[in-house]
Amino acid sequence: MSKPVVLIAEELSPATVDALGPDFDVVNVDGTDRAALLSALASANAILVRSATKVDAEALAAAPHLQVIARAGVGLDNVDIKAATAAGVMVVNAPTSNIISAAELTVGHILSLARHIPPAHGALAQGQWKRSKYTGIELYEKTVGIIGLGRIGALVAARLQAFGVNIIAFDPYITSARAQQLGVHPVTLDELLEQSDFVTIHMPKTPETTGMISAPQLKLMKPTAYVVNVARGGLIDEADLYTALVDGTIAGAGLDVFVNEPPTGSPLLGLDNLISTPHLGASTDEAQEKAGVSVAKSVRLALSGELVPDAVNVAGGVIDPTVRPGIPLVEKLGQVFSGLAAHSPLTSVDIEVRGEIVEFDVSVLKLAALKGIFTNVVSETVSYVNAPLLAEQRGVSVRLITDAESPEYRNLITLRGALADGSQVSVSGTLVGTKQIEKIVEVNGYDVEVPFAEHLIVMLYTDRPGIVAVYGREFGEAEINIAGMQIARHEAGGEALSVLTVDSPVPAALIASLREAIAADVMVAIDITE
């Protein structure tokens, strides 16, 4: 029997090939040579890439035997995950390979800004001795604000402790106990911006976080303050940042990531008070080797039919076919759950699985729930292996509860959580019919039946005439089409819960104005990612 073919499309460390072992035929190809790539994919069972090789629908169509795509790194912009999932191809990456490198680069940017290291070197290289021009500041006793206390944000905090700085942080999903454990003081975003001498951002890029630092936020900062972004391009509005740097609204900025990469023609690159690097967060020998070895191990697991913890789209491996369709359902329930819980840190979550499915091992559904909950919460890629760790780091207790009794549905999965402000949230879902249609059937104790969609809106308000007309008119004026709607209530004139599916994302400003217009207790927009 011939060995499975593993295609290596970009230069990877020798340790990566060693980690694959002797059980595979390893074939090398230049992934940027499209014709050569498509030809080589015809016999490939697995492909290992970095960032230059595009694995899109065309590439997948040329790979009838492909079982796994392995990205030796964190970002997956060059992999069409949706097309891979539709083709039944597993996608894996190395979610923790670069966290130390990214944290250290963040500290490097902060030090470079404080002491003007790059421009001072540039002047000296041109024969200019300008000591007074490049007088800097000490970090000691300065305030550093960290936006996002995920794995990288926590590592940045730990490394900055040695400089004797005061560390404050904004993370709506972190508990005060976890913040205390990290030695940071939790504050609101506005308080962080107003108080910090240095601001560093470590958030995922979602519709809610894109442009989260723009003109209004930059105006809150001290004129002597600096902002650093090594996370994702677009978290800081680049046009507003340019204006703030030119006008002296803030003292300077350090960027490793940009909206368009390379940022050819960006006016930011011509500013003296901007320090920039070409997306070097993961560009260390150690990070590259960790990434390669990690995904090589995942490829071995995938091709041997075992559970792959770092799979980002499907769990794979020894999971009963009866359980497998529930995995994407539970991940989506997790995203809805985190949207409902965004107003306060999560302290505990129960994953309740009911029905005949509990005859099988459903432990993967616990992992899928946590993966969904943290997908749009943390900056790093969330997988089955790091999701429980993310919960542990945030002080979130997690239980899997199973019960063979399910009176209303053949199988029912509920995510139920307690929040730090004393409130509770819950969302339930099931698979309906022979086509296994994913539906939400309960939200915060209200019975609904809503098929999943990419864009959801959940609102809770006092039931009274005219409410539907209000938000219908507002959405119409904003050219947002309502695809579906369900209203649930316990009694007339009491609280009513509406779940809407819409065809496009809803701006945060519209959500805020609608909440005020109908005096809603809850008004959240939730965007589901595959």
- Examine the residue annotation and report whether 331 is marked as an active-site residue of this protein: no
User: Across the strands, what pairs with 438?
Assistant: 431
Instruction: State the catalytic residue, choosing from 71, 109, 178, 232.
Output: 232
199 contacts: CB under 8 Å, gap ≥ 6: 144, 145, 147, 192, 193, 213, 221, 225, 226, 227, 228
Q: What share of the chain is helix, strand, coil (3-state, %, to 5)?
A: 35, 25, 40
Q: How far apart are the first and last CA of the chain?
A: 36
Instruction: State the angle between helix axes of 467-477 and 508-517 in degrees (0 to 180), rounded to the nearest 10.
Output: 150
- In three-state secondary structure terms, 391 is helix
- Examine the residue annotation and report whether 261 is marked as an active-site residue of this protein: yes
Token pair belonging to 358: 């509990």
Burial of 23 (0-12, 13-18, 19+ CB in 10 A): exposed
User: Across the strands, what pairs with 415?
Assistant: 351, 427
Closest to 416 measured CA to CA, from 325, 340, 332: 340
CA angle, corner 253, sides to 285 and 94, nearest 5? Answer: 30
Instruction: State the catalytic residue, choosing from 138, 141, 261, 356.
Output: 261
Amino acid at 89: V
Instruction: State the catalytic residue, choosing from 50, 109, 202, 279.
Output: 279
Distance of CA 370 to the CA centre of its chain: 13
- In three-state secondary structure terms, 133 is coil
- Examine the residue annotation and report whether 232 is marked as an active-site residue of this protein: yes
Cα–Cα distance for residue pair 399/207, rounded to 1 Å: 30
Backbone angles phi, psi at 511, to 5 degrees: -60, -45
Contact 464, 520 (CB under 8 A): no
Residue with token string 């699985």: 353
Which residues carry out catalysis? Answer: 232, 261, 279
